Amino acid sequence: MQWMTLFKKEIIENWRNKKWIWVPLIFILLAIIDPISNYYMPQIIDSIGGMPEGAVFEIPELSSAEVILMTLGQLSSLGVLVIILMSMGAIAGERKSGVIELILVKPVSYQHYITAKWAALLSLVWTALILGLTACWYYTVTLFGELPVISLLQIIFFYGLWITLVVTIVIFYNSFVKTPGLVAFLSIATIMAMSLLTQVFGRFLEWSPNNLSGHIFESLMIDQLTGDLIATAFVTMGLIISFLIGAIILFRRKSLAE
Amino acid sequence: MALLSVTNLSKKYDSNFAVKNVSFEFQPGKCIALIGPNGAGKTTILHILAGLLRPTSGNVKMSEINGNSDIRSFIGYLPQYPVFYTWMTGSEFLIYSGQLAHLSKKEAMARANELLERVGIADAGNKPIAKYSGGMKQRLGIAQAIIHNPKLLILDEPVSSLDPIGRREVLTLMEELKNEMTILFSTHILTDADEISDALLLLHQGEIVEAGSINILREKYQTATIELSFSHNTRFYQDKILQLSSVDNGYTEHDSIHVSASDISLAREEILKAAADEKWPITSFTLHRASLEDMFMKAVKK
Amino acid sequence: MDLLQEIDWQLVAPLLVIQLILMIVALVDWIKADDFNGPKWLWFFIIIFLSIPGPVIYFIFGRRR
């Protein structure tokens, strides 16, 4: 009951501040830019003067899977940035303004407060992601060739885990950092550090969440889910749960400490 | 049985005590003022009682609570500067608060309407809070604090930021609420405390320096004096008064006699009795009471 | 000019439509609001002239909440 009250309030707030409009639109935009621009790449190169005389530059024929991989790359950079910036104040903002005082003097469970925020953000982000990836899939199928619907569902599910982790990291920092800007900075720093670790110790971190896009790509290429993808999914879920529990613990401690 | 009892409460930030070894308790149905200058630790104590802050040591017990139920269900709290979700309407915020305190949506709606009416902002109920004035926000703040019918209402400096009219309205509202719940409020304005509270807690540098009902404290700290004037022969009557056993001291200034005594009621009795028996030509008789200000200064200096 | 002729506008139209909707939604919000970070007129130019990022920057940083 109380959880639904908290959850509904978040949904209404995001509707009134128009996040429910602009976040999905941005995700659709980001997700269809790559299929379209790659489709027109030869014309674009022509129109800016073409290739120099004698230069032999074969523009490789892109497969559907490659186009999807490019889109996931787009979402993992600009998309993730949008997610972090739009949710950096989720709790930190309420602490900073002071409104959290009026909420926490009511018999509100700290766990409900955190998980309702988390779930509300996820419902927004997943909606944006589903719309974006479906639009991307439509363009890819139209312009580059076959890709079964089941593949789209797999992409949405597994890539959604990555996005869920991003949201959870932002909530984690929100739980104990009071400044929205600092929340954004720490979230970005964490994701970059994870990415760096994954690159440097790639051999040992095959199942790092940062490799989700890569494993999705491999699975699309061989047309079946790889063991690596499934293992990475489990690692990601484990991290999501850990960050979420950490957020609840730190939120309670921080709230009662000052 | 005491509604609330606080034992050896301390809150330490780094090496400084914001609140130091504070103990007190109070009965249901009272209105208690927590008095002290800014920085005395009033807000810290209220935060701990409201369940917003964990004390470094000591504990808070509420008689209504059995076992592991949430103390916050029995407490309503209004911070000094309440901040709301400005995108909500006043009515929406009240309903939301009520639901968070485990009222059903229906109950919360009914209660929200009732309270909007009661605190006098019914007309603005459907306007966004962003458009509310300071006084309206304070009233909305009181409404959200009592939405769930708490046993104890805690108000942090409820009137100090209001203009005289708003102040009067909030004090009247508090006077009414006294009949329904116990009120604990902090203030640094002593006249407000004097006006509506039954008991006082005087706080100074994180410690309670004095506590008790206003009347008892008054007696304890009374610096009361009696001022008399006579139509003639002032000097003569001054000597007479000084001979009374209950009178400690007296002097004449501007033709009136100022009398002090350790037991001022006894002195009053003796003087009036002598005056009646001997037909003194008294033209005025005034008993000057101690102000809270005097009491506070005295208690702090102790 | 070849490029313009070769492009299938049906494919590209959604890009432009989405951009337009974003801008309109941002402008509607901008007209009604009065709690900006910085001067109001500045946000108008950001929304209008920074095509795609403009409205997004506005939605994230424009209002004080």
How many A-B residue pairs are in contact by the CB < 8 A criterion? 64
pLDDT at B288 > cutoff 80: no
Per residue in A113-153, pLDDT tens?
999 999 999 999 999 999 999 999 999 999 998 899 999 99
Residue of chain A minimizing CA distance to B52:
A256
List all residues of chain B from 129 to 168 with a beta carbon under 8 Å from chain C: 130
Average pLDDT, chain A: 92
Q: Do A108 and B54 touch (CB under 8 A)?
A: no
Shortest Cα distance, chain B CAs vs residue C35, angstroms: 10
To the nearest whole Å, the CA of C60 is away from the closest chain B CA by: 16
pLDDT at B131: 92
Residue B128 in contact with partner chain A when CB distance is under 8 A:
no
Q: In percent, how much of chain C has pLDDT > 70?
A: 89
Residue of chain B minimizing CA distance to A9: B96
Question: Which one of A102, A104, A109 makes the best mutation probe of the B interface by having the most chain B beta carbons within 10 Å?
Answer: A102
Q: What is the pLDDT of residue C25?
A: 94
With cut-offs at 50, 70 and 90, classify the pLDDT of residue A214. Answer: very high
So what's the pLDDT on residue A252?
93
Q: Which residue of B has its CA nearest to C65?
A: B86
- The minimal CB distance from C2 to the residues A18, A25, A47 is found for A47
CB contact under 8 A, A18 and C59: yes
- The band of A57, judged by pLDDT with boundaries at 50, 70 and 90, is low
Over range B61-87, report the average pLDDT. 87
Cβ of A102 within 8 Å of Cβ of B144? The answer is yes
- Whole-model pTM: value is 0.86
Q: Which residue of A has its CA nearest to B48?
A: A256
Check pLDDT > 90 for residue B155: yes
pLDDT for the residue A140: 94
Q: Does C29 touch chain A (CB under 8 A)?
A: yes
Per-residue pLDDT, averaged over B280-291, amounts to: 79
Asked if residues B263 and B284 have their Cβ atoms less than 8 Å apart, the reply is no
Query: Does the distance separating the beta carbons of C3 and A47 come in below 8 Å?
Result: yes
Neighbours of chain A (3+ CB pairs under 8 A): B, C
When pLDDT is cut at 50, 70 and 90, the band that residue C4 belongs to is: low
Sorted by sequence, the CB contacts under 8 Å of residue B157 that are 6+ apart come out as: B42, B80, B185, B186, B187, B188
Å from B85 to nearest chain C CA?
9
Cα–Cα dist B249/B241, whole Å: 9
Tell me if C65 and B130 make a contact (CB, 8 A cut-off): no
Residue B34 clears pLDDT 70, i.e. is over it: yes
Q: Given an 8 Å threshold on Cβ–Cβ distance, is C14 in contact with A33? A: no
CA–CA dist A144, A162 (Å, integer)? 25
Instruction: Quote the minimal CA–CA distance from B191 to chain A in Å.
Output: 28
pLDDT of residue A50: 66
Q: Which residue has the higher pLDDT, A257 or B175?
A: B175
Q: Does A108 touch chain B (CB under 8 A)?
A: yes
Buried b (16+ CB within 10 A) or exposed e, C27-62: bebbeeeeebeeeeeebbebbeeeebebbbbbbbeb
Convert the pLDDT of each residue in B176-199 to its tens digit. Answer: 999 999 999 998 887 788 888 888
Q: What is the CATH number of domain B4-213?
A: 3.40.50.300
How large is the angle between the packed helices A64-74 and A212-222, nearest 10 degrees? 170
Q: What are phi and psi of B246, to 5 degrees?
A: -85, -15
Chain B hits for C35, Cβ within 8 Å: 130
With bands split at pLDDT 50, 70 and 90, how would you rate the model's confidence at C55? very high
C-alpha distance from residue A66 to each of A14, A49, B187 (Å): 34, 27, 68
B87/C65 touch (CB, cutoff 8 Å), yes or no: yes
User: What residues of C are in contact with residue A22 (Cβ under 8 Å)?
Assistant: 22, 25-26, 55-56, 59
**SS3 labels along chain A:** CHHHHHHHHHHHHHHHCCHHHHHHHHHHHHHHHHHHHHHCHHHHHHHCCCCCCCCCCCCCCCCHHHHHHHHHHHHHHHHHHHHHHHHCCCCHHHHHHCHHHHHHCCCCCHHHHHHHHHHHHHHHHHHHHHHHHHHHHHHHHHHHCCCCHHHHHHHHHHHHHHHHHHHHHHHHHHCCCCCHHHHHHHHHHHHHHHHHHHHHCCCCCCCCHHHHHHHHHHHHHHCCCCHHHHHHHHHHHHHHHHHHHHHHHHHHHHHHHC
Q: Do A89 and C65 count as a contact with CB atoms less than 8 A apart? A: yes
Higher pLDDT, A220 or C6: A220
DSSP 3-state of C24 = helix
Looking at the complex, does the CB of residue A18 fall below 8 Å from at least one CB of chain B? no
Flag whether residue C65 sits within 8 Å of chain B, measured between CB atoms. Answer: yes
Domain ranges, ordered by start, for chain B = 4-213, 221-301
Nearest to B142, CA basis, from B130, B132, B154, B124: B154
Name the pLDDT band for B274 (thresholds 50, 70, 90): confident
* Inter-chain CB proximity B100 and A6 less than 8 Å: yes
By the CB < 8 Å criterion, does C22 face chain A?
yes
Helix, strand or coil for residue B82? Answer: coil
pLDDT of A87 strictly over 90: yes
Answer yes or no: is pLDDT of B291 > 70. Answer: no
What is the CATH topology of the domain spanning B221-301? Alpha-Beta Plaits (3.30.70)
Q: Band the pLDDT of B67: cuts 50, 70, 90.
A: low
Q: Dihedral, CA atoms, A214, A219, A220, A225, nearest 10 degrees? A: -140
Q: What is the distance, to the nearest Å, from the Cα of residue B49 to the centroid of all Cα atoms in its chain?
A: 16
B100–A98: do the CB atoms touch at under 8 Å? Answer: no
| Residues of chain B neighbouring C65 (CB-CB closer than 8 A) | 86-87
Higher pLDDT, C53 or B91: B91
Cβ atoms within 10 Å, residue C1: 6
- Helix (H, G, I), strand (E, B), or coil: what is residue B103? coil
Q: What torsion, rounded to 10 degrees, do the Cα atoms B269, B275, B278, B283 define?
A: 180
Residue B224 has pLDDT above 80, yes or no: no
**pLDDT the model gives residue B190:** 78
- Per CB-CB distance under 8 Å, the chain B contacts of A105 are 50-52, 72, 75-77
Cross-chain CB nearest to A107 (options B54, B82, B102): B102
Residues of chain A found within 8 Å of residue B87, distances taken between Cβ atoms: 13, 16-17
Tell whether A19 is within 8 A of chain C (Cβ).
yes
Average pLDDT, chain B: 86
Q: Poorest-confidence range of A18-22, A32-36, A70-74, B267-271?
A: B267-271
Q: Does residue B116 surpass a pLDDT of 70? A: yes
Q: Does A255 touch chain B if contact means CB atoms closer than 8 Å?
A: yes
The pLDDT score that the predictor gives to residue B94 is 97
The one-letter amino acid at A88: M
pLDDT, position B135: 86
Taking CA atoms, what residue in B is nearest to C35?
B130
Which residue from B minimizes the CA distance to A99?
Answer: B83
Beta strands of chain B (E only): which ranges?
A: 4-13, 16-26, 31-35, 57-62, 75-78, 152-156, 182-187, 199-204, 207-213, 225-230, 249-253, 256-260, 282-288
Top pLDDT among B237 and B31 is at B31
**How many contacts (CB atoms, under 8 Å) link A and C?**
58
Classified as helix, coil or strand, B56 is coil
